Structure 1
Amino acid sequence: MAACEIGLGNQAILTKIDQLRELNVGTIIPLPQLVVVGDQSSGKSSVLESLTGFSFPRAAGLCTRYATQITCRREPERGVAQLLQFKREIPELNNDDLTKIFEEANNVMGIRMSTTGQEDGRTAFSQDILKIEISGPDVRSSLAPIRLRLTFSLQQDHLTVIDVPGIFRLASPGLTTESDIVLVENMVKSYMSDRRTIILAIMPCNVDVATQEILKLAEVADPCGVRTMGVLTKPDLATEKATRDAVVDLVLGRRSALKLGYHIVKNRSADDHSSTSSERLAAEKAFFTASPWSSVADRCGTTSLKARLQELLMSISKQEMPYVKKDAEQRLLECRNQLDAMGPCRADQTSQRLFMVKLASNFQAITQGALNGYYAGDKVFQMEPNLKLATKIMKLNEVFANVFWKRGHQHHFRSEQNDDGETLFGRAAADLPFAIPILQYPELGDIIDTEDYQCPKPLKGPITARIEEVFESSRGPELGTFGGTILAAIFQEQSEKWEPLVLSHTSRAIALVHDYIFQLLTKLCPENQVKENLWNILIVDKLRDAYRRAMDHARFLLAIERGGRPSTFNHYFNSNLQKQRSNRMCEALKTMAVCFTGNSNEYVPVSKISQYADNKANGEQVCEDILDTLVSYYQVSRKRFVDTICQQVVLHFLLEGEKSPLKIMGPDLVMSLDLEQLESIAGEDVDSKRQRQVLMWEIRSLEAAIKVLRA
C-alpha cells in the first residue's frame, strides 16, 4: 500500500508539471524536464520511440524541424494522439494518418518542405513546439482489456520528454542553409541551458565519443556534468572489439565525467517496418545477453533506461517544485509591476491624457521630495540615489563658496598671504564627492561652459605694487584722495576670476538639474518611445530656454557687480574700513612702543604719533587708503555676490522659480498638448502594445500556474 501511495504522489507531481507546460509556463520559467539531443542520424528518433511507444511517421523531412514535446500518462479511457495546436485527434496511431498531421503542422509553422531550392519565404526549421499527448489505459488495471495492447498502449509510468532537431554541420542544397545550422545549434543550446533540464545526449556506439560535438555543448551548459546522461545507440554497429571495450569502459565510468553516467540501447534496423514494440524489446534483451554487454546488463536496454529516466525526472521534479513555485510568484510580481508601470491601455485621447497627467503628477511629487531633501517619502530615492538633487546642489554651492573665498581674488591683499577668512575657510574641501555629467548631454553644449575650470591660486606678493601702478597711471587732480574710477579698475582686476568661477558653477548646476530630469523621466517612463518623444518633442527646447535664462542672469549679476561703480550701503563696509586703518596704525605704532620697568604694558609717546603722521608721503598715503578701501569693499562684495549667485541663479532660476526647468513637466504642459502631440508622445507603438500583450499573457499563465501549484 505504501508503494502505491508513493506512486500516486509521484503521479500528482508529474501531472502538475505537465499542467504547467500546457499553460506554456515553461517559456516563462524553467520546468523540470528531459530533453533529447544529438547529431542528425544519431538514433534519437529510435530512442524516443522506445521510451514513449510513439512511432514517428517515416516520411522525408518530418519530426526533425522543431522541438517536439511528448507526454505519456495513464488515463481511464482509451488513448488517442492529439496535436493540441490543431485539435487533431486520431483513435489509432498509423503512419499514414500521422504523416498527414505532421505535414499540416509543418505547413502551419511555415516550414519549407520543398527540395527544389526555391526561396518561398519559409525556413527549414522552426522554434515553435509541437506537443503530442499519448494517453491510454493502465495495462496493469483490471479494467484494461487485452485488445488494447496497441503500439501506443502505456507500459511505463508517467514520462515527458522533449525532442529537438539534431545538430548538423553541412547544409543540404535546396533543403537547409548555413543559417539553419546556427538556428538549430542555438535552439539546442537554449534547451540544454535550463538549470532544471536533464540532458540525454544521444551518440552512436560506433564513433569516438571524444569527438562528439553534443558532449562539448553539454559541457558548456552543464560544466559539472550533474544533469547530463549519455545514451549510446547502435551497439550492433560496433563490430570491433576495441570499440566495444571502449563503450563498456564508458558505461562503467572509467572514462566518463558525467555524474549520471552512460546507458546503451539498441535501435531497430532501418529495414524493420513491421515489428511490434514487444518484439523489439525481446530482441534487444537477447542482444544484450551476449558478451561484452552482459557485464553491464543493468545499464543496457530500453526497460532499464525508462526506469532510470523516471527516477531522474521524479527526483528533479520533487527537488525543484518549491523553487518553481517561488520563481512563478516572483515572475508574476515582476510582470504586474511592469504592467502597472506602463499604466492603462492608451488607445484613445482620454486615456492618453490621463496617462500624461499621472506622469506629470508623479514627476512633481518626486521632485518636491528631491528639493526638500525628504527622501523617505518615495522609494525611488533608495533605488536611484543619484536623484537626491537637494543634497547635490547644496554640496555644489558649498564647494563654490569655499573656492570663491579661498581663490577668487587675483592677488593676495597682504604680504603675509593670510587674507581675512582664508585660514578659516581654506580647510574646507574643494572637491565634489560625485561626478557632474557636464559633457553627457550635447544639447547643452551651446548654453553652458563645458570646460572643467580649475580656479588657480592668487598671485604671490601683495597687491600694493599693482595699486601704485594703477594710481600713477590713472590719478586725477584730487588732492589727498582718489577718484572712484581707480577703485573700480583695481576691483575689476582683483575679481577677474569671478566670471569663470560663476559661469562654471552655473553650468555645473544646470548639468545636475538636466541629468536629474532625464534620469527621473527614464525611471517614470518604462516605454522608450514615450520618454524619447516627450524629451525630444516637448521638453528639451523648453529646458534650454530655462537654462539660457539662468546663464543670462548669472552674466547680468557679473556685469552689475564687476562692471558698475563700487557701491554698498552695508554698515559692515565702514566698520571693516575703520578696522583696516586701525590695524595699519597699530602695526606702525608697535615699532615706537616703549615699556616701563615693572609694567608689561607698552606705551607710545605722543611725539612719536605725530612723527608717524608727518612721515607719510602724499602718494603713499593715498595708496594705503585705496588698499584699505579695496579690502573692505571686496569682502562686502564677495559675501553679497556669492549669496546672490546661489540664491538667484541656482535656487530661483534653476530650482524653485515659476519658470524653473523643474516646473516644466507639470499638469499645465500636459493640458496644452494638441491631439497630434498627444498621440505622438503618449500613444502606444507596436512594441509597447506587444509588450503589454506579452505581460498580460504571462500574468494569466502564471496566475493559473500558481493555482495548480497550490492545489
Structure 2
Amino acid sequence: MGMHQESHVESSETLPHGVIATSTSAQMFSTSSLDALQGEESRKVMDIVDRLRRGGLSGELQLPQVVVCGDQSSGKSSVLEAMTEIPFPRKENLCTRFATEIILRRALTVSISTKIIPDKQRPAMERKRLEAFKSSIVDFNELPTLIDEATGLMGLDDDDSNQARAFSRDVLSIEIAGPNRPHLTLVDLPGLIHAENKMQSKEDVELIRSLVDDYIKEKRTIIMAVVSAKNDYANQIILKKCRDFDPQGHRTLGIITKPDFLEPDSDNEKSWIELANNQDIFFQLGWHILKNRSDREALTSFKDRNAAEKAFFSRGKYRDLSPDMLGIKSLCSRLSHLLFKHLKTELPDLQKDLDKNHQEVCRTLELIGERRSTPQEQRRFLLTIVTNYQDIVKAGVSGQYEHEFFGDTDPEEAVEHEANAHHLRAVAQHFNLQFALAMRKYGHKTEVLADDGDSTDATDSDEAEIDEAEIDECYRQFAVTQEQVSRDDAIQRVRKILIRSRGRELPGTFNPILISKLFWEQSANWQAIANQHIEQVARLCSNFARAAISFSVSNDISARLQSLTLDKGLDLRMTRAKEELAQIVDDTKHHPITYNPAYISTVQSTKYEKLSSKFNSMATDSKEQIYNKTTGTYNTYLKPEFTTSIIRNFTEMDMDRVSAEDALDSQQAYYMEEVEYFIAAVAKQVIERYLVRDLADTRSPIMVGDMSDAEVAFVAAEPEETKRQRDHLEARKATQEEGQEIFKSALGFFK
C-alpha cells in the first residue's frame, strides 16, 4: 500500500472524476475558469510563446511557464484541475509520480495528444523507445488508458515487483486543443517528500527534490507554491526552496489550500491569515487562498465546486480579506495579469537569447563547412578555407583590422598580450621598436663613460616611446654582461691592443685592422639580441597563423591542416630568417666599410668636443681679474703664459696614446653608424622578408592544388560524427529562424 495509498488519498481529495462518465465533447472543452485567465492582449502574447514552443524552441530556450509545486498531499493537483477544469483520471494519481506538462492551445478541432519527453540521462535506446510514444484521443474518457500506457513505458507499472520504479524524471506532455482553449502551459510536479519510507526510498526523495529544483531555479518560471493548511507551513519544504531560488519573491505566488480544516477564530487560523496577508513569508506576487473539494464532493461539477468555495469565503475571518486573494475565479484573473506582465517582460530577452544562439549555430556551421564526400567537394572546401585564411592574414600583415577575427583591443593590457595579439602588424612594430632600443642600450659589450659619467656610446632616438622596464625584462641577460669603463681606461685598453696588433704603420697612426678588432668585440651581442627578437616575432606569427586557421575552420580540420602543411611552412620561414641573419652578421666580420659622410662628421665632432672641453678648462684656470680704477670695476684677462700652456698641453708626446684615442673615436663613430644599419637590416631583410610580409603564403590555393587526393582526404574528409553534427545544427538553425520570424511578427509587443 505505502506510496500508493498516500497517492490515492491525495487523489480523492483533489481530483474529480464523476464528470468523465457523462462528459461530451462540448463538456470536455468547457473552460469557464480559464475564460477569466486571459484577455485579448494577453492571449496574443501567450500565443507568441505557444508558437515558439510548438516550433520546437523549448529545447533551444528556457521558455516562460507556470509550475505548480508543493509538498506531497498539499492539494496542488486540485489547484491545477480547478484552473484548467480538466478532470484527470483517478487511478492511483499516477500524474504525481512524474512531471506532467499540460499544454492548452487554441485549434479549429478538438483533440488530446500525449507524448513522453524522456530524461536526458536515459540510455539512447530507451530515449528512442519513449520518444516513439505518441497518441491522440478525442475524449477525456480515453485519457486514463493513455496515461497507463505512458506510465508503463516509464517503468512505473503498479505491480509488486521490485523492478518497478516509484518516480521518474521523464515528463508526460498532454496537449489539449480546442476552439475555445487559451494558449497556456502549466507543469504539475510530483509532491516533495519529507522522509523516506518502505515505499519511497532515499533516492526517491532526492530525485523529487532535484526535479523540483531543476524547474523552479529557471529565472523565467513562475512558481505557484502550494501549501496545505492541514500542516504547519513552517515545516513545508516548498517554502524553503522558493526562498533559496527566488529569495526576493519576484516570481513566486503562494497558494494556500484546505483552509476548511482550520478551526474558525483559532490562533492557527489567525497565523494562516497573516501568511495570506504577506505578513510572515513575503512574496512580491503575494498569496492566494483556495478551498479544495473534500472526499464527499469529489463527484460534483466544477460549477458546484466554485459555488461551494464562494460560500465558504463569505463567512468568518475571510470576509475581511480582499476578494482578489480568494477563490479560483480571482486567482485566474490575478494569474492572467502577472502572466501577461511576466511574458511581456521576458520576450525581449528571449529574442536576444535566440539571436545569440542563432549566431553561435551559424558560426559552428561555418566552421564545419559545406558537405564534402567527393574529392572535388573536399578540394573546394579546402580552397574556401585557404582563401578565408589568406584574407585574414593579409589584413593582419597590412594592419587593416576590420575583419571580425581581430575583435577589440584591450588598452589596459600589454601590446603583446593575448587580448591584443591578433593585431599582428601593431605587435610586430612594437617588437621591432623594442629590438631597436635594446640594440642601442645593450648592443655594445663595453659602455665607455665620459668624464661627466654619461655614456659616450649612447645614441639619441626619436622613436615612439617604449617602456624601458619592459626592455630590461626582455633583454636583461645582456645588461648583466655589459661592462662600464671610463674613457681613460678604454684608451689604455685600446693602446694595449694597438701595441699587440702593430703592423708596418708609422708612429702616431694605427693598423686598420685595429678598428675591425674593436668593432667585432663591441658588437659581440648583436647576433644573440637579434636571435631573441626573431624568435619572438616568429612565435607571434606562428600563433597568429594558427589562430587564423582555427577561426576559418573547425578544430579537427585546423589541427590536420597545421600538422600537414602549416608547421612545415612556419619552420622553413624561421630557418630562412636565421640564415639571413647569419649572413648579415657575417658581413660585419669583414673589414669596416662606410661611405656615409656622417662617419667623418661624427669623428670630427668628437675631436672638436674633446679639444673644446680641454681648451675651456685651461682658459678657466688661466683667468685673472684686474681692478680698473677709472671704471671702478674688475676686468677679466687671460694670463700671458696661456698661449705657452696651450702649446704644451695640446702636444702629446705619447704617440701610442694618440693612436689609441683616435682608434677609439673612430670605432665609436663607426659603431654608431653600423648599429643603425644592423637594426634596419634585421627589421627589413629578416623580420619583414621572411617572417611577416608573406605570412599568408603559408597556406595558398596553389598548395591545395599540389596536394594529392589522399592528402586532401586526410585533411577534409568528413567523419560520420561531423555529418550528424551538421544535420543537428541545420535542424537547430531552421528552428531558430522560425522562432525569429515569430518574433518579427510580434514586434508590437516589445514597445
* TM above 0.5: yes
1:632 aligns with 2:659: no
Query: In structure 2, which of residues 168, 176, 181 is the aligned counterpart of residue 125 of structure 1?
Result: 168
Measured at CA, do residues 700 and 123 of structure 1 come closer, stay the same or move farther in structure 2, by a change above 3 Å? farther
**Distance in structure 1 (CA, Å) of the matches to 2:304 and 2:48:** 34
**Distance in structure 2 (CA, Å) of the matches to 1:432 and 1:554:** 25
Query: In structure 2, which of residues 381, 385, 399 is the aligned counterpart of residue 373 of structure 1?
Result: 399
Cα offsets for 1:182-232 (capped at 9, x unmatched): 665555444334444321112222344344443343334434323210112
Structure-1 residue corresponding to 2:729: 695
TM-superposed deviation, 1:506 = 2.0
**Distance in structure 2 (CA, Å) of the matches to 1:570 and 1:689:** 67
1:394 aligns with 2:429: yes
> Structure 1: which amino acid aligns with 2:59?
T
**5 Å matches for 1:89-168?**
89-94=136-141, 97-106=142-151, 125-126=168-169, 129-135=171-177, 159-168=184-193
Structure-2 residue corresponding to 1:149: none
Equivalent residues of 1:359, 1:524 under 8 A apart: yes
Cα offsets for 1:487-538 (capped at 9, x unmatched): 444334433443442233222212322232233334333x333333433554
Measured on the aligned residues, the alpha-carbon RMSD in Å equals: 4.5
1:204 aligns with 2:228: yes
**5 Å matches for 1:266-665?**
266-268=291-293, 274-289=299-314, 291-296=316-321, 298=323, 299-318=325-344, 320=346, 324=350, 328=354, 331-332=357-358, 335-336=361-362, 338-376=364-402, 378-383=403-408, 385-415=420-450, 416-419=452-455, 422=458, 424-425=460-461, 429-431=465-467, 453=477, 455=479, 459-469=483-493, 471-472=495-496, 475-478=500-503, 480=507, 481-483=509-511, 486-525=514-553, 527-536=554-563, 538-555=565-582, 557-558=584-585, 560-561=587-588, 564-572=589-597, 573-581=599-607, 583-588=609-614, 611=648, 615-657=652-694, 660=695, 662-665=696-699
> Structure 1: which amino acid aligns with 2:435?
F
Cα offsets for 1:352-396 (capped at 9, x unmatched): 3323222211121122122222334x3443446532211221122
Measured at CA, do residues 589 and 496 of structure 1 come closer, stay the same or move farther in structure 2, by a change above 3 Å? same
Measured at CA, do residues 50 and 591 of structure 1 come closer, stay the same or move farther in structure 2, by a change above 3 Å? closer
> Structure 1: which amino acid aligns with 2:60?
I
Cα offsets for 1:571-613 (capped at 9, x unmatched): 3445544544455455555667799999999999998787567
Cα offsets for 1:221-273 (capped at 9, x unmatched): 43432321011233355569333222111112222311221122344457986
Query: In structure 2, which of residues 58, 80, 83 is the aligned counterpart of residue 48 of structure 1?
Result: 80
SS in structure 2 of the partner of residue 387 of structure 1:
coil
Structure 2: gaps (5+ residues): 1-34, 117-132, 410-419, 627-634, 747-751
**Distance in structure 2 (CA, Å) of the matches to 1:687 and 1:366:** 29
Measured at CA, do residues 72 and 637 of structure 1 come closer, stay the same or move farther in structure 2, by a change above 3 Å? closer
Deviates more, 1:565-574 or 1:450-459: 450-459
Aligned pairs, number: 665
**Distance in structure 2 (CA, Å) of the matches to 1:590 and 1:690:** 89
SS in structure 1 of the partner of residue 140 of structure 2:
coil
TM-superposed deviation, 1:404 = 1.9
TM-superposed deviation, 1:679 = 4.5
Cα offsets for 1:82-122 (capped at 9, x unmatched): 2267442223323xx43442344356668898875569xx9
SS in structure 1 of the partner of residue 275 of structure 2:
helix
Cα offsets for 1:449-494 (capped at 9, x unmatched): x987574696443254245346436614535344466544433443
SS in structure 1 of the partner of residue 186 of structure 2:
strand
Structure-1 residue corresponding to 2:114: 83
Measured at CA, do residues 351 and 490 of structure 1 come closer, stay the same or move farther in structure 2, by a change above 3 Å? same
1:62 aligns with 2:60: no
Structure-2 residue corresponding to 1:219: 243
Cα offsets for 1:122-155 (capped at 9, x unmatched): 995336x5332224575xxxxxxxxxxxxxxx8x
**Distance in structure 1 (CA, Å) of the matches to 2:641 and 2:439:** 40
Measured at CA, do residues 370 and 12 of structure 1 come closer, stay the same or move farther in structure 2, by a change above 3 Å? closer
Measured at CA, do residues 327 and 552 of structure 1 come closer, stay the same or move farther in structure 2, by a change above 3 Å? same
Q: In percent, how many aligned pairs have the same letter?
A: 27
Equivalent residues of 1:109, 1:126 under 8 A apart: no
**Distance in structure 2 (CA, Å) of the matches to 1:353 and 1:59:** 64
Structure-2 residue corresponding to 1:248: 273
> Structure 1: which amino acid aligns with 2:254?
G
**Distance in structure 2 (CA, Å) of the matches to 1:183 and 1:489:** 85
TM-superposed deviation, 1:345 = 3.1
> Structure 1: which amino acid aligns with 2:111?
V
Measured at CA, do residues 372 and 533 of structure 1 come closer, stay the same or move farther in structure 2, by a change above 3 Å? same
Structure 1: gaps (5+ residues): 139-153, 439-449
SS in structure 2 of the partner of residue 63 of structure 1:
helix
Cα offsets for 1:653-692 (capped at 9, x unmatched): 21125xx5x4213223434444555445434556654553
Measured at CA, do residues 590 and 321 of structure 1 come closer, stay the same or move farther in structure 2, by a change above 3 Å? closer
**Distance in structure 2 (CA, Å) of the matches to 1:269 and 1:371:** 80
1:22 aligns with 2:54: yes
